[in-house]
Amino acid sequence: MSLFLLFAMMLAFMALGMGIGIAMIASSLVYLLINLSGSMSLPLAVIPQKLMYGVDSFPLLAVPLFMLAGELMSAGGIMTRIIRFASALVGWITGGLAHVNIVVNMIMAGMSGSAVADAAATGSILIPAMVKARFPPSFAAAVTAAAATIGPVIPPSIPFVLIGTIAQISIGRLFLGGAIPGIIMGLFLMAAVYWVAKRKKYAVETRVPFREIMVRFWHSVPALVMPVIIMGGILSGIATPTEAAVLGVAYALLLSVVLYRELSLSDVYRICVRMGSSTAAIMLTIAGATLFGFIATAEQMGPKMIQLFLSISENFYILLAILNVALLILGCVMEPVPIILLTVSIFFPALTKIGMDPIHLGVVMTLNLMIGMITPPVGLNLFITSAISGVPIMKVARDSSIFMIALIAVLLLISYVPELVLWLPNTVMGK
C-alpha cells in the first residue's frame, strides 16, 4: 500500500502539470515526510544527497555529448550528402524515397542515438521531398516517424547509456547487442514500405549508374566514418563510451565547421545552448528518478516484484510476454527516458534473478520504448513529423500502423531468439 501511495502521488503531481523529474522529487519528499515516524524513518538530508548522487556519474556525460554530436552532424551539411548516397543505393526500389528515408535513418542512428533528433533532422528534408514526389504527406510523415525509432537501437544509443549506467552493466555490450536488431528493424520497415508502395504504385527514383553510386559514397565517407570512430574507440579499449562521445563531438565539429563550412561559430554556440537546456531537463529527471528509485529499493520493491512475477508464472517466455505488454502500454502514455529511469532499477534485478540476460533485456526494453514513440497519445515522433508535414497527428498515426506491426514483429523475434542480441557482444567481447 505504501508503494502504491508513492506512485499515486507521482501521477497526481504529473496530472497537475509538473514535469516528470519534479513530480518524482515532490512525491518522494511527501512520502518521506509521511514516514518520518513510520517503518522507513529517514532524515530529509537524504534528498539532496540522492539527487546529487544520481547525476554525479561519468558515464552519464555521454548522454549530452551524443546529443550534441548528432545535432552538429544534422545541422552541419552531413545530412544532404548521406541522402544523396542513400538515394543512389536504394531509391530505385519500389517505394523510392521511402526506402531512402529508412536507410538514411539507419546511417544517422550511428551518429546521434536519439529518435527525436533523427525524426526532426531527416523529416525536415525528406518529408517535403517525398511530398514533391507525390507521396501522401501522411505516409511521408509516418515513414519518417517509424524509421527514426532505429536511432536508439543501432549504436551509439542514449537509452543504452542510461540503462547501462543504472543497471551497472556494460554499455559497450549493449551497443553491440543493438546492432543486429537495428538492422532487422530497417529491413522489416523496408519490407512494409515495399508492400504498401506496390499496392499504391508510389514513385521510384531513377536508377543511378554504379560509378555515380561510388562518387556519392566517396562524398559521404567522412560522415560514415563517425560511427567507426565511436564504436572503434570503445571496442578497442582506447576510449570509454563517454570519451568516445567526446571524440564524436570533436569529429562533428571538424566536419561541420572546418571541412564543409556549413556551420559558423555562432551557429555552434546556439546549438550548444539548445543542447544545454535539453540536458538540464534530462539530468533533473535522472536526479528525481534516483531519489524515487532509492525509496522503492528501501521498501523492498525488488523482492516483491520477484514474488509477483513468480506467482504469475515461472516460464521465461510467459514472463517476457508480460514484460513486453507492460512496456508497450507504458510507452503509450510516457516518454522513454522516464520509463527507463523508473523501471530499470526495479525490473532488472528481479528479472535477471529468474534467468534473463541483462543485455538481452536492455535491448528488448529499448525497442519496446521506441515503438511507443509512434504510438498515440504520447508518441513524440508522431508529433514531430505531424508538425513538419502539417498533417493531423491521427492521420500520421493511422499510416504508421503498418510500421508498428513490422516493429512488433521484430520485437517478438528478438525477444524469443535472444542470440540475435547476444551473438555479436559475445563474439566480440566474450561471454
Q: Measure the CA–CA gap between 115 and 112, rounded to whole angstroms.
A: 8
Cα 101 to its chain centre, rounded Å, is 18
Number of Cβ within a 10 Å radius of residue 317: 10
Grid coordinates belonging to 235:
571496442
Per-residue pLDDT of the chain (431 residues; tens, 9 = 90+): 466 777 788 878 877 878 777 888 888 888 878 776 555 566 777 778 878 877 777 777 777 888 788 778 777 777 778 888 888 888 888 888 899 999 988 888 777 667 777 787 788 888 888 888 889 999 999 999 999 999 889 888 888 988 988 888 888 899 999 999 999 999 999 999 999 998 888 877 788 888 888 888 888 888 888 888 887 887 777 888 788 888 888 988 888 888 888 888 898 899 888 888 878 877 887 788 778 777 776 766 656 666 666 677 667 788 788 888 888 887 776 778 778 877 887 778 777 877 789 999 999 999 999 998 888 776 778 888 888 888 888 899 899 999 999 999 999 999 999 999 999 999 988 77
pLDDT at 37: 58
pLDDT at 174: 92
Write the CA distances from 83 to 79, 205, 219, 354, integer angstroms.
6, 13, 11, 45
Q: Measure the CA–CA gap between 133 and 140, rounded to whole angstroms.
A: 10
Q: What is the DSSP letter of 229?
A: H
Cβ within 8 Å of residue 254, ≥6 positions away: none
pLDDT at 360: 94
What are the residue boundaries of the structural domains of the chain, listed by start?
A: 45-429
Q: Measure the CA–CA gap between 145 and 142, rounded to whole angstroms.
A: 5
pLDDT at 42: 66
pLDDT at 187: 95
**Secondary structure (DSSP) of 97-158:** HHHHHHHHHHHHHTT---HHHHHHHHHHHHHHHHHHTT--HHHHHHHHHHHGGGTTTSSS-H
CA dihedral 227, 257, 101, 207 (to 10 degrees): -100
Are the C-beta atoms of 83 and 42 separated by less than 8 Å?
A: no
